[in-house]
């Protein structure tokens, strides 16, 4: 819907900030042991693939590990790789082992994990590296949007979920552990489960630090909409 005048925009109800944030998705990292029905995971995946994608090429790919043995296999493989990488960094052994144990617990403690990957198989190919890089970035953006859709759908279904970046750092390990096709490029892992807590406190930089309205029209409309809202609130009181 396009709003061409301040009057039209004043009709729009702006939800209160607290209400919006309170109902929004958060990263939930601790779960109840209850399994998630496959049909529900399929609903989440269906929501994921409604995302927009560059040229509508739908580069997203999903590998779902439900069972504990499958997740433990993945967790062990990723843990071994993490240990090797951090040993090469010459990190303290105690720190490495704590990290490996935490990673193992995160993957095995979820009810299911979804490796969100991209494939370039249907994306365009250019003769030059720069345009190929942008094409790859568009596949990343499209896949990330599918991932966010999935997180929102999980939240709407009463599930907790968290996006983890680790698979990107050990793509070959993840592909090997789960038998994923060689052209699937893992971008992240979504851990899923019925929530044990509500997640960490909500922390964001203020809007004024990350966004700007570029013209007076916007300010005028915002002021107009706020005045209209204040008048509505006064009437209701």
β-pair type (160-164, 112-118): unpaired
Nearer to ligand FMN, 9 or 195 (CB): 195
The residue (of 29 and 61) whose beta carbon lies closer to ligand FMN is 29
Burial (CB count <10 Å: 0-12, 13-18, 19+), residue 139: buried
Helices (H), 24-128: 38-48, 68-88, 93-108
CA 197 – CA 10 distance, rounded (Å): 38
Nearer to ligand FMN, 3 or 169 (CB): 169
Answer yes or no whether residue 199 interacts with ligand FMN by CB under 6 A. yes
Stretch that binds ligand FMN, among 38-46, 78-86, 108-116, 158-166 (CB under 6 A): 158-166
Residue whose pair of structure tokens reads 């499958």 in the numeric block: 70
Name the pairing type of β-strands 185-193 and 112-118: antiparallel
The reply on whether position 141 binds ligand FMN by CB under 6 A is no
**What values do phi and psi take at 174, rounded to 5?**
-65, -45
Toward ligand FMN, which CB reaches closer, 27 or 67? Answer: 27
Please list the alpha-helical segments (H only) found in 89-215: 93-108, 129-156, 166-169, 171-178, 207-210
Q: Is 109 in the site for ligand FMN (CB under 6 A)?
A: no
Residues 27-56, one symbol each (x = binds ligand FMN by CB under 6 A, - = not), give: x-x---------------------------
Cβ-proximal residues to 108 (8 Å cutoff; 6+ apart), any chain: 68, 71, 72, 75
**Toward ligand FMN, which CB reaches closer, 98 or 223?**
98
Q: Does 8 bind ligand FMN (CB under 6 A)?
A: no
Closest-by-Cβ residue to ligand FMN is 27
Nearest distance from C-beta of residue 28 to ligand FMN, angstroms: 8
Q: Give the range of 7-15, 21-29, 30-38, 219-227 binding ligand FMN by CB under 6 A.
A: 21-29
């Amino acid at each position: 819907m396009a709003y061409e005048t301040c009057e039209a925009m004043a009709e729009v109800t702006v939800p209160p900030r607290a209400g919006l944030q309170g109902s929004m998705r958060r990263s939930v990292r601790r779960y109840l042991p209850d399994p998630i029905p496959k049909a529900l995971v399929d609903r989440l995946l269906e929501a994921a693939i409604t995302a927009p994608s560059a040229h509508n090429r739908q580069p997203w790919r999903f590998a779902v590990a439900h069972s504990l043995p499958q997740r433990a296999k993945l967790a062990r493989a990723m843990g071994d790789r993490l240990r090797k990488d951090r040993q090469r960094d010459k990190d303290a052994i105690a720190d490495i082992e704590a990290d490996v144990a935490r990673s193992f617990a995160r993957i095995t403690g979820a009810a299911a994990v979804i490796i969100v990957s991209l494939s370039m198989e249907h994306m365009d190919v250019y003769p030059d590296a720069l345009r190929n890089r942008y094409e790859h970035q568009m596949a990343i953006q499209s896949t990330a949007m599918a991932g966010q859709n999935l997180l929102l759908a999980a939240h709407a279904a009463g599930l907790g979920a968290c996006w983890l970046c680790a698979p990107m750092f050990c793509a070959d390990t993840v592909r090997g552990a789960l038998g994923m096709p060689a052209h699937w490029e893992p971008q992240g892992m979504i851990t899923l489960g019925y929530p044990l807590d509500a997640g960490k406190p909500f922390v964001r930089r203020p809007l004024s630090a990350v966004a700007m309205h570029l013209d007076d029209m916007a300010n005028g409309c915002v002021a107009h909409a706020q005045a209209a809202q204040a008048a509505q609130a006064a009437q209701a009181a």
